[in-house]
Every structure is written in C-alpha cells, then in structure tokens.
C-alpha cells in the first residue's frame, strides 16, 4: 500500500482508502438492514401474516391430504376426493343430507361447522395430539394424517328419524339415558354438505341457493333452534311438584279449582280436552289428559324458584351446553309473576326449548332422575385407529330422587297407555311419553308445533330404558296437528330402531 493512499490526501482530505472503507461500511449497513427486516417479518410478524385471511397457505396445507373421517356405527359417513386443483382434496359425504345435522360441513370456501368445525384440528391433522413427538413434528413441519371422529349416533335410529320427519319441517333428538350418548340428531329439511365442499362455481351456486332458501335447510333444528315446548314441559312441572312435595300421591286429588283463573288476572286457563274441565283432578289424570288447569296450578304452587331449579336441572338456561357442538340456550324465565309461572309451567309464555333439551328431560326421567351430559362423540382416534381421546359419561345434574323419577315414569307410561300418546305404543316394550301441541304466532295463528318426548324399554326389563327421544314438527301439511298424531309415530319408530338393535 502506498503512503499517499494510506495517509490523508491533499489539504487534509481523507484518502480513498478511508472513503472506500466508509462506502464499504455503508454497504454493510444496507445488508444489515435487509437482515433486520427479514428477521422482523420471518420471526416477529410471521404469525400475523400466516393467519391473514388472504394467505392461502393454511388452506392449501389443510387440503393437501385426505381429511379424517366422521364415523357412525363404525362406518364413515364422510370421505375425501382428489380434485386436481390447487386444493388437492375436498370433502365428500356418503349420506350427506341424513347426517348433516351431525357432521355439519367442511367447505374449502365456507369453512367448517359443527363436528367438522369443533374437531377440525383432529380431522385436518393439525391437532398436536396426533403427533407422537410434537416438538420434532414442529421442526420437520411434518403433517400428520387426519384423525377420525367416532360419533355416538345409532345409524338405525338416525335413519328412522330422517324417514319419519320426511318432507315435514322438524327435528329429532334421541339420547341413551344412562350415558347421555346421543343416538339420533336429525333436522329437516336437510341439505347435502357435499354440494359445496369444493371451490368451483357449482359449489358456490349450491351455497348461494341454500342460503337463499326460506325453509332454512342449513338450520340445525335439533340443536340450534328453540321452540315453545307446550305440554311436553308438563313433565318438568310434574317432576318439580313431586320433588318438592306439592304432590305426594299421583292418584290423589289436587286442590285445583275449575275454572282456573290465572293468579292476579281475570283470564281463565283453557283446556284442550273437556274431560279436564272439573276441579281437583289428580296428577296422573291431568298428565294423561294433558290438563292445563291442573299443571298451571301445580307450577304456581311449586313456585317460581323451584320451577326454575327443576328446569335448569334438565339443561334450561344453560348458555354453554356443548355436546361438543354448542346447543342454543333453552329458556325458562327466572323472573315472572304467578300468572306467567302458570303459563310457563304448561310450556307457554317465554318457555322455549331445543329438541335436545326436551330429550334430556325424557332421558333424565328414564334414568331415575340423573340427567347425563349429552354427548355426540364417542372417541377420537388417529388414522391408524389408536385412541386419542375416549369420552366418558358425565353426570349433568341429579334432577330428582329415584322415587320421584319412578312416579314421573308412571305418569309418562300412563300417557302412552291411556292418554294422548297412544300412537307411541310399542308391542313388547314399556313406553313412557308426553305429547305437546304448542300454539304460536300472532293470536296463535301459526301452525302449532307438534311435540312428543318419550322413552322406552323392553317389557320386563328392570334397567334404565335404552332410549329417550324428543320430536318436534314445526310445519306439516297435516290437517290434524297434534303431538300425538304427528310426532308420536316418529318417536315410536326411532325407539323401535334402538330397541330392535338391542335384542
């Protein structure tokens, strides 16, 4: 290196060695800025960009392998098909409309709902429980094959429910009382979740058409829709009256006047059956004939707080009833005057219930007063069949003592034997039930909701009935709309499906 270049230039200017070094330093700073910016994006902001809705990577990865399956009775009701597009696979459904209320849908464009949504991590393979060694998977970014979801659904019961509902608007929920396992979950009109599983124009058209359908085929009426339960709620009222000592003998006369004027008003409560139009009818007769006057009066005598407590034992007012799909909140008002309590006690006023909760009512009675937490999923497994999680029966509430439950069971059995529920009789089985025909709409102008809740066990069995069911028909072309005529036969076929499978 020459002296001239190393030292200062003329007039003390730095030489080119110095300025060159400074310029080099400038280049170094530029490159360091790049590295800093890369670090900022790839380390600190990465999560945000990964989760940006416009970033297709997650969807591409999600659909790069077949999705795990949802199984009913050990057989998959879902599948995956290769598409050849940017998303390698799309969801298919074997009996889409029959199981839509159970599975929900998994769509490349419109996301995932119900079981497809709740168990999405497992089905799509992102759930950490699927990897034998999560940390290593994280490093290698290995994608696990999707796991399977085994449901508690009984295919025979489900098909009986769908067949029974047919073209009517309605829903069925069936539960195994001793465990809370959901045996059937049906909603009509239904839809085919496979029709919009992909991302083609046809898929988008199918979706648009479903969204615009005024019959709301994508509404899950068994879980997400509440209806006034009408007279089926009288089972809750009877249980509350018996559990709280308002009635001790179901065959003893109650001190109910006729006509019954709603407390604090001049309005008289009307009965559907003229046989109810007399004072002091006993509870058994009142249930069998579905007498509004007696049950309204018993509700008032039991009192608001105790009625609320009993309703909540069965799942009313629970905003987080997860099966694991969340059910809509069923309502029983907690502040009412006595007239409103009387109306609520016969399932009117603000009382509203999902078919699921009414099935819990029947199941709780059948299970000797123990209400089990309803569950739709039996177990979660890896793709190789090894268990990830096994669901266990869980007690929801102890609603009443076994002896009270036995009395309510007797009431329900009498309804089917001698009362409004004779259409649910099953040869060779003991059936307990309760009908309901709920008026609604302005001046009760709407087609009434036809309800039936029931349980059944083989004759001679001393065990807990293997099935409890709730049926609601929200709209039908039938002229005689009552729970007994419309809903009871469906409940009967569902119960028969379960009992038949048992023997």
Partner 1 sequence: MATPAAVAVRGEPAGPRPRSGRNVELALVLCAVAIAVFGYIEVGVNIDDKVPPDAAEYGAALGGLALIAHGVIRWRARYADPLLLPIAVLLNGIGLVVIYRLDRATPSSHAAPTQLLWSTLGVALCVAVIVLLRDHRVLQRYAYSAAFAALVLLVVPIFFPAVYGSRIWITIGPFSIQPGEFAKILLVIFFAAYLSAHRDALALTGRRIWRFTLPPGRVLGPVLLVWAAFIGVLVLETDLGMSLLYFGIFVVMLYVATAKSSWIAIGLLLAAAGVVVVGWLSPHVHARVDQWLHPLASVAAGQGANQIAQSLFAFAAGGVLGTGLGLGHSILIGFAAKSDFILATIGEELGLVGMVALFLLYLLLVSRGYRAGIALRDPFGRLLAIGLATVIGLQVFVVAGGVLDLIPLTGATLPFIAQGGSSVVTNWIIVALLVRLSDLARRPVPEGEHP
**Span near partner 1 by CB under 8 A; candidates 44-52, 305-313, 351-359, 484-492:** 44-52
Helix-helix angle 355-366:234-243, to 10 degrees: 40
Q: Is 48 in the site for partner 1 (CB under 8 A)?
A: yes
Which of 82, 135, 139, 212 is in the footprint of partner 1 by CB under 8 A? Answer: 139
How far apart are alpha carbons 30 and 7 in whole angstroms?
A: 27
Rank residues 133 and 249 by Cβ distance to partner 1 and give the closer one.
133
142 binds partner 1 (CB under 8 A): no
Q: How far is CA 408 from CA 107, 162, 251, in A?
A: 45, 29, 12
Q: How far is the CB of 122 from partner 1 (least distance, A)?
A: 23
What value, to the nearest 5°, has the Cα angle with vertex 359 and ends 349 and 290?
A: 50
Binding test (CB under 8 A) with partner 1, winner from 7, 28, 428, 446 = 28
Where helices occur in 86-187 by DSSP H, the ranges are: 96-103, 114-118, 120-124, 134-140, 155-165
Q: Is 129 in the site for partner 1 (CB under 8 A)?
A: no
Contact flag: residue 56 with partner 1 (CB under 8 A): yes
Q: What is the rounded CA–CA span in Å between residue 363 and residue 184?
A: 13
| Active-site choice (124, 131, 199, 231) | 231
Instruction: Give the interface size with partner 1 as a residue count (CB under 8 A).
Output: 48
Q: Which residue has the tokens 């019961």?
A: 157
CB 469, min distance to partner 1, A? 46
Question: CA 316 to CA 363: how far, in whole Å?
Answer: 14
For position 135 contacting partner 1 by CB under 8 A, the verdict is no
Please report how close the Cβ of residue 273 comes to partner 1 at its closest, in angstroms. 60
Give me the least distance between CB of 51 and partner 1, in Å please: 9
Q: Are 469 and 483 in contact (CB under 8 A)?
A: no
Task: Closer to partner 1 by CB, 2 or 386: give it.
Answer: 2
Site string for partner 1, 281-320 (x = CB under 8 A): ----------------------------------------
Closer Cβ to partner 1, 52 or 398, answer by number: 52
Q: How far apart are CA 503 and CA 501, in angstroms?
A: 6
**Binding flag, residue 126, partner 1 (CB under 8 A):** no
Binding window for partner 1 (CB under 8 A); candidates: 55-63, 66-74, 440-448, 480-488: 55-63
- For the chain, state the CA radius of gyration: 31
Q: Does 134 bind partner 1 (CB under 8 A)?
A: no
Tokens matching residue 111:
């996301």
Residue 231 known to be catalytic: yes
Q: Which of 74, 132, 135, 141 binds partner 1 (CB under 8 A)?
A: 141
Which is closer to partner 1, CB of 84 or CB of 427? 84
Counting contacts by CB under 8 A, is residue 212 touching partner 1?
Answer: no
Contacts of 238 (CB under 8 A, 6+ apart): 247, 283, 287, 295, 298, 408, 411
What number of residues does the chain have?
503
Query: By three-state DSSP, how is residue 474 classified?
Result: strand
**Site stretch for partner 1 (CB under 8 A), options 18-26, 121-129, 290-298, 482-490:** 18-26
Name the minimum Å distance from CB 88 to partner 1.
12
50 binds partner 1 (CB under 8 A): yes
From candidates 7, 55, 166, 268, binder to partner 1 by CB under 8 A: 55
Residue 461 engages partner 1 in binding (rule: CB under 8 A)? no
How many other C-beta atoms are found inside a 10 Å radius of the C-beta of residue 9? 14
The verdict on 37 binding partner 1 (CB under 8 A) reads yes
Which of the ranges 37-45, 68-76, 281-289, 363-371 carries the binding residues for partner 1, by CB under 8 A? 37-45
Task: Give the whole-angstrom CA distance, residue 147 versus residue 337.
Answer: 52
- Kindly state whether residue 202 participates in binding partner 1, applying the rule CB under 8 A: no
Cα Dmax for the chain? 126
Contact 162, 188 (CB under 8 A): yes
* Contact call for residue 15 and partner 1 (CB under 8 A): yes
Q: Is 84 in the site for partner 1 (CB under 8 A)?
A: no
**Please, which residue, 16 or 395, has the CB nearer to partner 1?**
16
394 is a contact residue toward partner 1 (CB under 8 A): no
Residue 392: φ, ψ to 5°:
-115, 150
Q: Alpha-carbon dihedral of residues 488, 492, 493, 499, nearest 10 degrees?
A: 160
Q: Which stretch binds partner 1 (CB under 8 A): 34-42, 129-137, 213-221, 347-355?
A: 34-42
Cα–Cα distance for residue pair 10/13, rounded to 1 Å: 6
Q: Where are the beta strands (DSSP E) in 177-272?
A: 181-188
Residue among 7, 45, 257, 264 that touches partner 1 (CB under 8 A): 45
CB of 376 to partner 1, least distance (A): 35
Q: Is residue 54 a contact point for partner 1 (CB under 8 A)?
A: yes
Beta bridge partners of 92: 79
Task: Compute the least distance from the CB of residue 140 to partner 1, in Å.
Answer: 9
**Cβ-based neighbours of 447, under 8 Å, separated by 6 or more:** 474, 475, 476, 481
Does 417 sit near partner 1 (CB under 8 A)?
A: no
How many Å apart are CA 277 and CA 260, to the nearest integer?
Answer: 9
Q: Which two tokens stand for residue 42?
A: 């790839």
Active site residues: 231
Binding region for partner 1 (CB under 8 A): 1-3, 5, 9-11, 13-24, 26-28, 30-31, 33-35, 37-39, 41-43, 45-50, 52-57, 60, 139, 141
């Amino acid at each position: 290196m020459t002296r001239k270049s190393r030292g200062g230039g003329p007039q003390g200017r730095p030489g080119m060695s110095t300025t060159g070094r400074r310029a080099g330093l400038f280049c170094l700073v530029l490159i360091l800025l790049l590295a800093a910016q890369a670090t900022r994006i790839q380390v600190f902001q990465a999560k945000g960009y990964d989760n940006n809705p416009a970033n297709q990577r997650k969807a591409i990865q999600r659909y790069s392998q077949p999705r795990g399956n949802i199984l009913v009775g050990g057989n998959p009701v879902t599948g995956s098909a290769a598409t050849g597009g940017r998303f390698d696979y799309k969801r298919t459904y074997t009996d889409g409309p029959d199981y839509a209320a159970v599975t929900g849908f998994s769509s490349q464009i419109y996301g995932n709902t119900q079981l497809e949504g709740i168990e999405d991590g497992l089905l799509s393979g992102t759930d950490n429980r699927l990897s034998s060694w999560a940390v290593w998977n994280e490093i290698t970014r290995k994608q696990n094959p999707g796991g399977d979801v085994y449901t508690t659904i009984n295919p025979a019961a489900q098909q009986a429910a769908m067949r029974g509902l047919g073209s009517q608007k309605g829903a069925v929920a069936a539960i195994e009382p001793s465990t809370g396992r959901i045996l059937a979950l049906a909603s009509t009109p239904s839809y085919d979740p496979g029709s919009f599983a992909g991302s083609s124009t046809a898929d988008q058209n199918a979706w648009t058409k479903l969204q615009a359908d005024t019959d709301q085929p994508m509404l899950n009426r068994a879980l997400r829709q509440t209806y006034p339960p009408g007279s089926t709620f009288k089972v809750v009222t009877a249980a509350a009256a018996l559990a709280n000592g308002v009635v001790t003998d179901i065959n003893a006369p109650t001190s109910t006047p006729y006509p019954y004027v709603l407390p604090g008003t001049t309005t008289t409560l009307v009965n559907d059956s003229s046989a109810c139009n007399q004072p002091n009818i006993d509870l058994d007769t009142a249930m069998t004939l579905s007498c509004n006057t007696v049950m309204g009066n018993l509700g008032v005598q039991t009192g608001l707080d105790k009625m609320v407590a009993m309703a909540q034992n069965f799942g009313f007012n629970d905003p987080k009833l997860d099966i694991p799909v969340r059910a809509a909140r069923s309502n029983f008002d907690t502040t009412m005057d006595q007239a409103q309590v009387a109306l609520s006690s016969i399932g009117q006023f603000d009382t509203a219930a999902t078919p699921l909760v009414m099935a819990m009512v029947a199941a709780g009675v059948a299970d000797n007063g123990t209400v089990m937490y309803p569950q739709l999923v039996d177990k979660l497994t890896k793709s190789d069949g090894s268990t990830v999680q096994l669901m266990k029966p869980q007690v929801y509430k102890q609603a009443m003592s076994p002896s009270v439950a036995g009395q309510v069971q007797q009431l329900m059995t009498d309804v089917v034997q001698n009362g409004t529920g004779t259409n649910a009789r099953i040869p060779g089985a003991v059936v307990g039930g309760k009908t309901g025909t709920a008026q609604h709409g302005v001046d009760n102008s709407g087609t009434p909701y036809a309800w039936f809740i029931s349980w059944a066990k083989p004759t001679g069995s001393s065990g807990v009935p293997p099935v409890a069911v709730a049926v609601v028909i929200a709209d039908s072309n039938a002229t005689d709309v009552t729970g007994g005529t419309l809903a009871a036969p469906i409940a009967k076929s569902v119960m028969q499906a379960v009992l038949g499978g048992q023997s």
